[in-house]
Structure 1
Amino acid sequence: MLTTDVGLGNQAILTKIDKLRELNVGTIVPLPQLIVVGDQSSGKSSVLESLTGFSFPRAAGLCTRYATQITCCRDLRKSVAISIIPRPDADESLKSQLLKFRFHSTEINNHELSEVFEAANKTMGLRMDANDDNAGVGAFSEDILKIEISGPEHAHLTVIDVPGIFRLPTPGLTTESDVVMVQNMVKSYMKNSRTIILAVIPCNVDIATQEILRLAEAADPEGVRTMGVLTKPDLATEKATQNMVLDLVLGKRNKLTLGYCIVKNRSADDNASTMSERHAAEKAFFMAPPWASVADRCGVTSLQARLRELLMDISKRELPHVRAEIEKLLHSCKLDITALGAPRADQGSQRLFLGKIASKFQGITQHALNGYYTGDPIFKSEPSLKLATRMMQLNESWSDLFLEKGHKRHFDPQWDDEEVVSSLHKNDQHPFKISLTKHPELSDIICTDEYDCPSPSEGPIIDHVKEVFKSSRGPEIGTFGGAILATVFEEQSEKWEPLALWHTSRVIALVHDYICQLLDKLCPDTQVKDQLWSTFLDEKLRDAYRHAMGHARFLLSIEREGRPTTFNHYLNANLQKKRKERMSKSFKDIAVPLDNDENDLYIPVEKIDEYVLNKDNAQQICDDIVDTLMSYYKVSRKRFVDTLCQQVLNHFLLDGDEGPLKVLSSESIMSLEPDQLEIIAGEDTASKRQRQNLAQEIERLEAAIKVLRA
């Protein structure tokens, strides 16, 4: 064995990587490593024996059924320690059993070693011969046998041996599934970008037929981390075969950046020679032609030096990246286990878990309703949760739309322009899109069709009022009955119903979407969230939305179907203003200029008499109806818009104690029955397993961080 020390700093790096592998970190973060792969009977075990100085048992079937990690360390005293690293998915019982397997000795013979390997195979539960009739026992294992060798002649080196590739199962011992399992195991080791692949190939076979090279090329297409190790050169007796091997070593037929090395195996019958005797025999063999021309790439000593160099290079280069990946993964695992919350095995923990969600929900919702968007960082990442802002945009745009198009027929153009000009188009009528069909559970409560409000019809409204008066007048003399005003008002306000119900539906959809979105953020556990909806929230929310829609319809019936009523002095002020405007316009029509000055007009007395006399009773009544209708419509529209926003939207949907935003509260969680708690917040088997897996992974990763920081 080569005795050159790798240096204390370098040895510390390699030791850290070995400890990370012991923690099974290599199953989740790729680690720098050397793996020895090859077809069965390729001489793989002999290469490992030459590299490590460890004599594997020669009995058939031993040390080929699982990955074997062999670590050589320099020490003044000789020792061998053998243990098992459990497979990643081992349950606690099996893991405890595997970890109990330990062997340590300073002197060991082949017979004793065979017994140790047999005991390891039994502990892993392997089927070693055709006489084993236990159908549940496998021939291969994903556990790792760890062998630590110390002695003064060793330098630090870790290599991993994986089972040899084979194509045909052995009846009674291996199956087709074992063939696939071994291939997948080998592939999983080879695909690691931090793995140096030692592909062992006998010199006396056609390289093109070697399965291992095909697998290596698939894992390392550029050939930058694969080294070929040619074995059994003493069996390459033909000149053509020897020349082919030399061409590979010299790079003439070589696709591998790391090239090829040649080592000589001990014969199958050689059980007595020592390691030093084998090295001497190998050295003498390669001094003879044709191998002397490539002596620097021949022999185990040359291979050891090259492998230590490669392992050290990749370890130094990749260790900072390994640490960064471990830290990132640890952070992610902690976030995932935090999202699961505390374990929920009893009523107290279940109620506390849901109570925290409800408390957080109410806190954020109060900020959303008050427009206090700096109160929680969620508003920065989820701007659609700014509920107060979105409600103001919806209400203002709807109010403007109601003002512009809410009446069926245009009033007097002067009256129309009076308010419309000052506020029309002040806001976009569609500030943002709200889908009314996004949530199927609302389809039987809200109006799911968009309402495109038509513009008021053109033409003087007085003509329509005259028709209604003719068909509906009563016995009144010189005036009109309240029924006529109610009739024309109900007709003039017929678009109020679709406008009000459409707007209420939009606000319900907005509130419901807010609740869904916020709950998604506060409760990432899909099962808990789904149970919370189906068991508790769904029907209560639907009831709240029904109340809101019902109250909107109630307000519509009060305003449109009842007797026109108001005690607002604004009605009389509007009515007098309209009468004054009508009279003023009529007088202007009969005014004449004084001294031909168009700006100085007067009305002759005889003209006034003509104006009064020419206006019949029916026309006067119809003018009064129009004036009253316009004045009352203004008062009613403003009252209805404000009442709908205040009562239906603000009270029933936003602020009321029975509103949808108050359904999920700490009080409601406290009122849940024990069976409801278990259904909603009880952990299922999958959640418990996920929590357990995350806890185990966090434990491994934290231990890995300690190793890296040491």
Structure 2
Amino acid sequence: MTFIESTNQAALDKIDELRKLGLTAHISLPQIAVIGDQSSGKSSLLEYLSKITFPKDIEMCTTFATEVVMRRASTFHAKAKTLLMKGTTVATVVKDILTIELSGPDYPMVTLVDLPGYVHTRSTGQPATIVQDIENIAETYIASEKTIVLAVIPANKDFETNVVMQKIEKHDPMGRRTMGVITKPDLMDSGTEHKIVDVMSGRKMELELGYHIIRNRSYDDCQADISVEIACQKEKTFFNKKPWNDIPTNDQGVKSLRSKLQDILYDLVEEEFPTIKSEIRNKLAKCNEELDILGPTLDTDQARRALLVANTNTFVDTVRPLIEGHYSLLEYPYEHYIRAKIQGLNEIFSATILKTVSEAKFSKLDIGGTISKSRGRELPGFLQHEPFVALVRETIAGWNKITKAHFDAICVLLYDTMKYVVERELSSRLAATFHAAIEQFVHVCKKDMYKQADTMFRSEQSMPTTYNHYFTETLGKSRLTHVERKISTSWERDHYGKYTGQSVLNIVSPFVSTSNKEYAIEDMTLAIHAYCKTAAKRYIDATCLYVIEAILFEDFSGRAREILNNCPLEHVKEPKRVSERRKELLNVREKLKAAVKKF
């Protein structure tokens, strides 16, 4: 064996080792895949190339891929790996590969993957999906850019309608990695041989690797069980006749095909070898990354506790800046800037409460009727206390409902953001557990806020009280403004355009009259408006500071950690699909590590 042959064989052996490791599903390997109809002569072709006899049982020949590894050696040696898995029958299409290793002095250095022959109908005992199953297995090979396709085409069948050529047109439309192998030329009708000459010339479909023609063993040859050597001699005699001898000798016969396939595979391996090394390392890196994301197994309480604590810390450290408004510490969308959103909601809440004490709202109150119905023992001219209390209560009656709606909006915002953090930052194994925990956290906080809001609202409704000078100042200003408005609209002038003393008297006298009901109602309105504005400002500040901030956000970190860290450990588990995926990745990683060592 020459140095070049030795080097080529070493490269091919490394590729075969990767295939033995079961990495074909993860690493695209250079290979020659043999495809064809079930009766295309694939088995005879493989017998010619490998010099061994393959089973002719129809069911066995259509259920799995067969890898034939041929290497040059001083003596003949053959080895086959067991194929069938437990519970598998010969009529079932399986994805396992039967590997046959052959070595001897006359073997080419070639590895072929013989794919199940395409079938068009289902035989008795075969699964209903066998036609599609075989197509699926074949396409996993021929779709790869690193696969040279050996398309076996019987000469006695129509070329254009052959299913193999249809698959080539789909997966290798430019014909860059396909070689056509014409079989059974001896079965053609006399006078139609020119059709094969047209195919071989590329007039039907041009293939970059060209076409090759062989003569399969005839029925009589098979019955006589003649050797491969004798069959090759008969093949040579056949191609020495017209019109077959017009075909270049390099494109006919199994002997030249062996040499051609060996050269094609050498070139492919040499071209792809560097990329395979890189692909193995990249796959290993991605495998490790995914395993890091999945995290360690959760088969002990210690592992569950460690995962719980680590994710709790990550959760708190992420949500806290969003609450405190330190957004530059994170890269999060604006809709999850909690502090900014809370500020906006508080402003809406404030405007809504203040709207309930606007002048427009007081115009709808039946102040005169309430004064008549609720008057106490006050002397005429005094502000009546009981009607005042009743009217204040009527004015602020909607505050509790508005407040709880505000709490609901804040809690939805907080929950949505915390849920987003869980899904974005934390282990998927804790998603369900943390979702339940943060839902409980928000529920408890909202319940406490409702309770505090009820207490505050009862206090506001119990008895109007304030020590804020804003009330007296507002009432004084309102009365002054009211008088000014009356003066500007009621002042009378004489025929000379001058204000008269009588007009001044007409304006002032109602204010000093203790029996004027109209002005009593107006003064009550001013008093209620001044008090309710004062109470509203107090209520808004207290709600935002002593309820929302105190209950939701004060010591958020400590309360969140307490709830999350106390999640039951039995709830800290992962979905079955995650554990199965980790197991699969660990298996693949070991194979990839072994592959790295081989390269």
TM category, shorter: 0.7 to 0.9
Q: Deviation string for 1:260-298 (max 9, x for gaps)?
A: 2102345426767575x7666544543332112212421
Cα gap change, 1:622 to 1:240, in 2 (>3 Å): same
Matched, 1:469 2:371: yes
The TM-score normalised by the length of structure 2 is 0.83
**Counterpart in 2 of 1:203?**
155
* Cα distance, 1:639 vs structure 2: 0.8
The TM-score normalised by the length of structure 1 is 0.71
Q: Secondary structure of the equivalent of 1:694? A: helix
Q: Secondary structure of the equivalent of 2:67? A: strand
Matched, 1:341 2:295: yes
**Counterpart in 2 of 1:613?**
509
Match of 1:554 among 439, 446, 455: 455
**Counterpart in 2 of 1:243?**
194
* Cα distance, 1:607 vs structure 2: 7.0
RMSD over equivalenced CA pairs, Å:
4.0
Cα gap change, 1:385 to 1:59, in 2 (>3 Å): closer
Cα gap change, 1:517 to 1:531, in 2 (>3 Å): same
Cα gap change, 1:165 to 1:466, in 2 (>3 Å): closer
CA distance in 2 between counterparts of 1:350 and 1:462 reads: 63
CA distance in 2 between counterparts of 1:638 and 1:182 reads: 78
**Counterpart in 1 of 2:475?**
575
**Counterpart in 1 of 2:406?**
503
**Counterpart in 2 of 1:142?**
95
CA contact (8 A) 1:203 1:241 kept: no
Output aligned runs, 1:46-125, within 5 Å.
46-51=44-49, 54-57=50-53, 60-61=56-57, 64=61, 66-73=64-71, 77-78=74-75, 80=77, 82=79, 84=81, 120=82, 124=84
CA distance in 1 between counterparts of 2:280 and 2:389 reads: 77
Cα gap change, 1:170 to 1:501, in 2 (>3 Å): closer
CA distance in 2 between counterparts of 1:249 and 1:360 reads: 68
Matched, 1:690 2:581: yes
CA distance in 1 between counterparts of 2:208 and 2:173 reads: 11
**Counterpart in 2 of 1:545?**
446
Match of 1:231 among 183, 193, 202: 183
* Cα distance, 1:640 vs structure 2: 1.0
Matched, 1:637 2:529: no
CA contact (8 A) 2:33 2:148 kept: yes
CA distance in 2 between counterparts of 1:348 and 1:169 reads: 55
Match of 2:17 among 5, 19, 23: 19
CA contact (8 A) 1:203 1:235 kept: yes
**Counterpart in 1 of 2:464?**
564
Match of 1:360 among 314, 327, 334: 314
* Cα distance, 1:641 vs structure 2: 0.9
* Cα distance, 1:588 vs structure 2: 6.6
Alignment coverage as a number of residue pairs: 586
CA distance in 1 between counterparts of 2:332 and 2:57 reads: 60
CA distance in 2 between counterparts of 1:162 and 1:125 reads: 18
The one-letter amino acid paired with 2:443 is R
**Counterpart in 2 of 1:655?**
554
Cα gap change, 1:70 to 1:582, in 2 (>3 Å): same
The one-letter amino acid paired with 2:178 is T
Cα gap change, 1:468 to 1:328, in 2 (>3 Å): farther
Cα gap change, 1:548 to 1:622, in 2 (>3 Å): same
Match of 1:286 among 217, 239, 248: 239
CA contact (8 A) 1:369 1:388 kept: yes
The one-letter amino acid paired with 2:307 is F
Which stretch shifts more, 189-198 or 363-372?
189-198
Matched, 1:516 2:401: no
The one-letter amino acid paired with 1:613 is S
Q: Secondary structure of the equivalent of 1:240? A: coil
Q: Deviation string for 1:48-76 (max 9, x for gaps)?
A: 3444xx3223565598453222334456x
* Cα distance, 1:28 vs structure 2: 3.1
CA contact (8 A) 1:5 1:155 kept: no
Match of 2:569 among 677, 681, 687: 677
CA distance in 2 between counterparts of 1:56 and 1:177 reads: 31
Match of 2:140 among 174, 188, 211: 188
CA distance in 2 between counterparts of 1:648 and 1:313 reads: 76
CA distance in 2 between counterparts of 1:520 and 1:496 reads: 36
Q: Secondary structure of the equivalent of 1:480? A: coil
Q: Secondary structure of the equivalent of 1:564? A: coil
Match of 2:325 among 344, 359, 371: 371
Cα gap change, 1:314 to 1:636, in 2 (>3 Å): farther
Cα gap change, 1:81 to 1:398, in 2 (>3 Å): farther
CA distance in 2 between counterparts of 1:257 and 1:334 reads: 40
CA distance in 2 between counterparts of 1:233 and 1:345 reads: 65
CA contact (8 A) 2:37 2:118 kept: yes
Cα gap change, 1:181 to 1:647, in 2 (>3 Å): same
Q: Secondary structure of the equivalent of 2:24? A: helix
* Cα distance, 1:305 vs structure 2: 4.7
Output aligned runs, 1:260-409, within 5 Å.
260-266=211-217, 267-268=221-222, 282-295=235-248, 296-312=250-266, 314-315=268-269, 329-375=283-329, 379-403=330-354, 405-407=355-357
Matched, 1:164 2:117: yes
Cα gap change, 1:235 to 1:586, in 2 (>3 Å): closer
CA distance in 1 between counterparts of 2:326 and 2:129 reads: 62
Q: Secondary structure of the equivalent of 2:28? A: coil
The one-letter amino acid paired with 1:475 is R
Cα gap change, 1:499 to 1:462, in 2 (>3 Å): closer
Q: Secondary structure of the equivalent of 1:70? A: strand
Q: Deviation string for 1:293-313 (max 9, x for gaps)?
A: 212421234434543454455
Cα gap change, 1:222 to 1:4, in 2 (>3 Å): farther
Query: Which runs of 5 or more residues in structure 1 are unaligned?
Result: 85-119, 127-134, 412-455
* Cα distance, 1:566 vs structure 2: 0.8
Cα gap change, 1:401 to 1:217, in 2 (>3 Å): same
Cα gap change, 1:381 to 1:497, in 2 (>3 Å): closer
CA distance in 2 between counterparts of 1:187 and 1:585 reads: 91
**Counterpart in 2 of 1:98?**
none
Q: Secondary structure of the equivalent of 1:27? A: coil
The one-letter amino acid paired with 2:524 is I
Q: Secondary structure of the equivalent of 2:298? A: coil
Cα gap change, 1:656 to 1:164, in 2 (>3 Å): same
Cα gap change, 1:221 to 1:4, in 2 (>3 Å): farther
CA contact (8 A) 2:33 2:141 kept: yes
CA distance in 1 between counterparts of 2:122 and 2:482 reads: 107
The one-letter amino acid paired with 2:180 is G
CA distance in 2 between counterparts of 1:322 and 1:486 reads: 87
CA distance in 2 between counterparts of 1:646 and 1:510 reads: 18
